Structure 1
Amino acid sequence: MHLSSDLPRRGAVISVAALTLAAVLTACGKTEAPAQAGGGAPPPAEVGVVTIHPGDVGLVNELPGRLEASRVAEVRARAAGILQRRLFREGSEVKAGQRLFQIDSAPYAAALQSARATLARAEANLTQATALAERYAPLVKENAISAQEYANAVAAQKQAEADVAAGRAAVRTADINLGYANVTAPIDGRIGRSLVTEGALVGQGEATQLAVIQQINPMYVNFTQSASEVYRLRRAFEAGSLKGAGSEVAKVRVVMEDGSVYKREGRLLFSDLTVDSTTGQVTLRAEVPNPDGVLLPGLYVRVRLEQATASNAVLLPQQAVTRSAQADTVMVVDGEGKVASRNVTLGGEQDGQWVVVDGLKPGEQVMVDGFQKLRPGATVKPVPWKKPGEAAAPSTSS
């Protein structure tokens, strides 16, 4: 009796539990379905790109060099004596012919007076000898005097003429020596420190160096380039892949030791005709204006020289190019946003950018940043790249 009555109740309990479990599972299924429906693929990443616009790009080489004064003159004592005065301010600008030093001139003034006196005596002797020869000329014709006496008179006249010529030369020499006591500047330029002091004996047995004048406007900059690079450029010119910049536009820029670029542009003067056998370098020289005296002789600089022009080339930020021993590559984004790797040929560096001479087509988009974490074939959203410090480009909805 009891068994028969308990069985229906247990069946009812099991049925209720089964219905409850089914309801719970159904509710869970409805809850998970929307979550799966809303969890699609993430949007493509935005990457900065530059659009390729080929054109003529000057190929600039940066080469080491040193500055040199365009003219240098050593001021030396050409007269011996005691240095009495210095007549210039050290480090100042001087003009050609300006008095710089005064050497004791008393001995030279006395020598000039003596030479003038000797000349006067010679001129007096010439006057007397000339008069005697003129007086003897008619007498010898009348046999009033012997031919020998007349010949002696003529010889005395010629000797007196020679003495006058020698006397005039001696006066000129003495006058020049007196002028040497006033030491003057041979050229315009900036004079350095005095190498001697007042009271020193100079010019005794040698032309004592007193100072140095350097003309620093314009300045010369001498720099070197490897002979192999020179020949590489020549071969490129002959092949037509590069165009020569031409001497009329061969401009140079001077980069100072602190990395700043000198504000005035210079020009290439010449390239040496020989190669240094020890270094394999060719020496070049450029001329740079220096009206403000900023550039100083002996200063180490770097010279940026445009020697050629690449046609259909493009400038790319350096971070856009991946360099390796095998190849130089960039990441190109096609019209569908797909990323692909592309080999390129570089022609050098200019103002922090690579010059790409081959491998890219007009209108293509090259990734500048963000490609380090992407692989070829990935999908991206290209946006115009901005240089550091510029405002970021606003996002545009697709």
Structure 2
Amino acid sequence: MKPNPRLPIPFLCLLPLVLTACQEQHAAPEFPAPEVAIQRVEAHTIPIEWEFVGQTESSRLVEIRTRVEGVLDKRLYEEGTLVQKGQVLFQMDDRPFAAALQGQKGTLAQQEAKQQNAKRSVARLKNLISQNAVSQKDVDDAESQLAEADAVLLTARANVTSAELNLSYATIKSPLTGLSGKTKKADGSFISPGQDGLLTTVTQTDPMWVKFSTSETRLLEVNEAMMKKQLIMPENANFVVDLHMADGSVYPLSGKMNFSEKQFSTETGTREFRAAFANPDMKLVPGQFVRVTLKGAIRPDAILVPQRAVMQGQQGKYLYVVGTANKAEIRPVEMGDWYGDDWIIESGLTSGELVVVDGMSHVIPNMPVKPLPPADNARGSQP
């Protein structure tokens, strides 16, 4: 007899329950949406600053040279100290110049006497010619002698002035207030004008100049941003310039721009700028390297995100944006400069969007997340 292929009715009733239990046992578990910190980005105006490496230089460097030939008697200043305008630095032996002046004054006196005599002769002959006692030629000759005497007298007076100048040049004074340099000539040396006539230098330190330069590429980027209205410069380029010293300290006084080169250097491809700083306490000396900060420009409608929110992928930089249904989507972005702890976003984000700033490692693209406020008050969310 053949076995009955039909199952028992009680077993058939239990079969759906068994199959349902098996399906529930093998179903994929559901994970909760990961918690992420989000931040709403808002466009607002921010100040823009630029930093450069600069070097201090004197606003005026003067070479102290002799104007006359003679013997250097003595140095009257201490090398390396601050000298005042009009202070005597060197004294030459002035006796030859004083003697020359006296000789020129004597010559002047002689010429003055000759001129007076010529005047009297002309006056006398003019009285006699009315009486026909002398000829017209005699009068003409006397007037010519008077004119010659006048000319010689002018020369004598000029020689006296020249001799007075030479005597004054024997006392060499500082034309400005500044730091004195090392003496180039020893006392008793014979000095003369020309290549060998340099005695020392005086360096003006108040105000002090700071020169710095920037590349052509950077200037082109700035010009492009200005054309796009992404950057607004201060009126009349009236930047505020701050200095940071080599030890990190901030120079207490701000400076002003006072020069910008109009062409690029053919050697370095850079363009030079210069700022002036008051230096009453002489904290700045020529040759120092400093960090220059240029302030005054602004960027309107800037969008900032924390640096930690931006990640690097194979296609470039990206971040996560929380959209509808709290789903996180990848958003490629183009970065600009740093601004404190934030990035300036050039493109890829619009004002009002929600950006994931923490918990990115748990995010799966296009999957829901649980948004939370950021732990810190990031700058990108502040207007």
User: Does the pair score TM above 0.5?
Assistant: yes
Give the partner amino acid of 2:375: P
| Alignment CA distance shift 1:323-1:311 (3 Å) | farther
Distance 1:306 1:350, change over 3 A: farther
Query: Is 1:60 aligned with 2:60?
Result: no
Corresponding letter in the other structure for 1:91: G
Superposed displacement of residue 350, structure 1: 4.0
Instruction: Pick the aligned partner of 1:311 from 293, 300, 312.
Output: 300
The CA deviation at 1:115 is 0.6
Q: 2:125 aligned to 136, 149, 159, which one?
A: 136
In structure 1, the residue matched to 2:24 is none
Over 3 Å counting, the alpha-carbon distance change for 1:277 and 1:300 in structure 2 is same
Query: What's the CA shift string for 1:336-379, capped at 9, x where partnerless?
Result: 98765444443323456433344445566656566457655554
Percent sequence identity over aligned pairs: 33
Match of 2:226 in 1: 237
8 A contact 1:78–1:207 mirrored in 2: no
Q: Is 1:384 matched up with 2:357?
A: no
> What is the Cα deviation at residue 332 of structure 1?
5.2
Please, which moves more after superposition, 166-175 or 309-318? 309-318
1:259-303 alpha-carbon deviations (Å, 9 max, x no partner): 444332222233322122333222222223322222222222332
The code of the aligned residue for 1:223 comes to F
Unaligned runs of 5+ in 2: 1-29, 379-383
**Shift of the alpha carbon at 1:198?**
1.9
Q: Is the 8 A contact 2:358 2:374 kept in 1?
A: no
Post-superposition offset of 1:179:
0.5
Given candidates 147, 155, 175, the residue that maps to 1:186 is 175
Which letter does structure 2 place at the counterpart of 1:385?
A: D
TM-score (norm 1): 0.75
Q: Does 1:220 align with 2:209?
A: yes
CA 296–184 in structure 1, closer or farther in 2 if over 3 Å, else same: same
Return 355-364 or 214-223, whichever deviates more: 355-364
Q: Which residue, out of 163, 167, 172, partners 1:174?
A: 163
**Corresponding residue for 1:253?**
242
The separation in 2 between residues aligned to 1:338 and 1:386, in whole angstroms, is 23
Name stretches of at least 5 consecutive residues in structure 1 with no aligned partner.
1-39, 388-398
Aligned pairs (5 A) from 1:24-63: 52-63=41-52
Cα distance in 1 between the residues matched to 2:93 and 2:362: 83
1:146 to 114, 119, 135: 135
**Residues 202 and 331 of structure 1, relative CA distance in 2, 3 Å threshold:** farther
2:335 to 313, 322, 346: 346
Aligned AA for 1:167?
A
- Greater Cα offset, 300-309 or 117-126: 300-309
For 2:145 and 2:372, how far apart are their aligned partners in 1?
113
Change (3 A) 1:321 1:240: same
Task: Determine if contact 1:90/1:191 at 8 Å carries over to the other structure.
Answer: yes
Q: Tell me the matched-pair count.
A: 347
Change over 3 Å in CA distance of 1:211–1:359 after alignment to 2: same
- Alignment CA distance shift 1:252-1:339 (3 Å): farther
Corresponding residue for residue 13 of structure 2: none
- Give the secondary structure class of the aligned counterpart of 2:49: strand
Q: Distance in 2 between matches of 1:138 and 1:158?
A: 19
342 and 124 in structure 1: CA distance in 2 versus 1, 3 angstrom threshold = same
Pair 1:199-2:188 in alignment: yes
| Aligned pair partner of 1:267 in 256, 272, 280 | 256
Instruction: Single out whichever of 135-144 and 263-272 deviates more from structure 2.
Output: 263-272
Contact 1:70 1:219 in 2 (8 A): yes
Q: Secondary structure at the match of 1:242?
A: coil
* Separation (CA, whole Å) in 1 of partners of 2:61 and 2:331: 55
1:117-136 superposed matches below 5 A:
117-136=106-125
Distance in 1 separating the partners of 2:196 and 2:158: 23
TM-score by length of 2: 0.78
More displaced stretch, 185-194 vs 308-317: 308-317
- Where 1:278 maps in the other structure, the secondary structure is coil
Which segment drifts farther, 226-235 or 125-134? Answer: 226-235
**Range 136-145 or range 367-376, more displaced:** 367-376
Partner of residue 115, structure 1 = 104
Contact 1:337–1:382 under 8 Å retained in 2: no
Superposed CA RMSD in Å reads: 3.2
Q: Which residue of 2 aligns with 1:79?
A: 68
Match of 2:283 in 1: 294
Aligned residue in 1 for 2:26 = none
Work out whether residues 77 and 183 of structure 1, in 8 Å CA contact, stay in contact via their aligned partners in 2: yes
